Amino acid sequence: MDEAEPPDKPDARQRLKTWACAEALALGLTEPRIVAASGHGATLGAALTAFLDADRHGSMAWMAERAAERADPEVLWPDVRSILVVGLDYGPDEDALAATRQPGVGAISVYARGRDYHGILKGKLKQLAGRIGARGRELGLDVGVKVFVDTAPVMEKPLAAAAGLGWQGKHTNLVSRGHGSWLFLGEIFLDVELPADAAEIDHCGSCRACLSACPTGAFPAPYQLDARRCISYLTIEHPGPIPRDLRPLIGNRIYGCDDCLAVCPWNKFARMGAEAKLAARDDLRRPSLADLAALDDAGFRALFAASPVKRIGRDRFVRNVLVAIGNSGDVSHVPRLIDHLAEPSAIVRGTAVWALSRLVPPDDFARFAAVHLPAEEDADVRAEWAPANA
């Protein structure tokens, strides 16, 4: 202990930690834990560099742009000494994969069936951070805080594992013995040292359920993810046409994918989300592909006004819907696909071409190509018509 430091400071820090964790639970947060801010840069930096050097981040250039901050909390905020990591349960109230077995509907990831969690979780973290600052002053500690959710350059899963919330499973997501795979994560950076918790150990054993469940084979090895093959990346982060070889594997997943999470055996301990604002909307549990394909920009914005789906925009979303329609085998969608051949958006137009090629006989597809291909100027869309000339 520093000679200038009052002798009660260590006790004050323990009392603040105990109080903060209890307060987090009172706010509906889960498994609050403390991890020291130092000592992560080398390990996290090496893992991130290997991921980026292998181009497994795809088009997510933002991962490389702030790599130094992402890999080391002390680079992101030099004053940080401790990190309070918390979870927020969002376990589903039904079989998470039920919609994927119904080809006439769109399967939206569990986390996106209700309101956008970012604002809800950040609001709770801000409340908690403010109370920690006030309680710290009562204990004679001057506490500075910064609040982060997953939009910030923080490698939250390895930090959560180091704090003891769980471990990173073979699917690279956090797994908790008490809560399974359904946890949002958030962090409060603190400029005071609080007693750290022990890291969790890996409990995956020989299980390979998550690796086997991935529809697109996005795990080149256990504990490794190639985002370029991940359906969540392809339907949310990827801005261009989805690679042709992966489209049939996506099925009807139109925003995100829960397969690797849902099959984890540790979910037998998972809890249904208790935050009412995150409850699944009935109209997003199994939305009709036909209705979604008809959305214009205004309709899209109205339907997803408070949803995380809104951020990808109407064109990227309809692209996903048209992939699902192409995989549906349902020829009743053909008139809508014909309408989309005149879409202003090239990404929608091109995906409509592909979906049409899956639902109509080759001779009919060739006749559509003869009408639309001569006037088509977009190279990607022209490539989608190529089977008509094969």
Read off the pLDDT of residues 33-68 as tens digits, 9 standing for 90 and up.
999 999 999 999 999 999 999 999 999 999 999 999
Reference 276, options 67, 87, 89, 79; nearest CA is: 89
How many whole angstroms separate alpha carbon 219 and alpha carbon 207? 14
1 domain residue, yes or no? no
How many whole angstroms separate alpha carbon 123 and alpha carbon 33? 19
Q: 287, 321, 355: which is the final residue of a domain? A: 287
Reference 236, options 350, 109, 334, 339; nearest CA is: 109
Q: 232, 259, 287: which is the final residue of a domain? A: 287
4 domain residue, yes or no? no
CB crowding 171-189: b at 16 or more within 10 Å, else e: bbbbbbeebbbbbbbbbbb
Give the structural domain span for 320.
294-390
Crossing angle of helices 346-359 and 313-326, in 10° steps, is 10
390 domain residue, yes or no? yes
Do 283 and 298 fall within a single domain? no
Task: Identify whether the C-beta of residue 197 lies closer than 8 Å to the C-beta of residue 248.
Answer: no
Q: 287, 317, 338: which is the final residue of a domain? A: 287
Do 176 and 308 fall within a single domain? no
Percent of the chain with pLDDT over 70: 97
Q: pTM to 2 decimals? A: 0.94
Both tokens of residue 274? 């208790």
DSSP H helix total and E strand total for the chain? 18, 8
Q: Please list the active-site residues.
A: 150
| Tens-digit pLDDT profile for residues 130-176 | 999 999 999 999 999 999 998 889 999 999 999 999 999 999 999 99
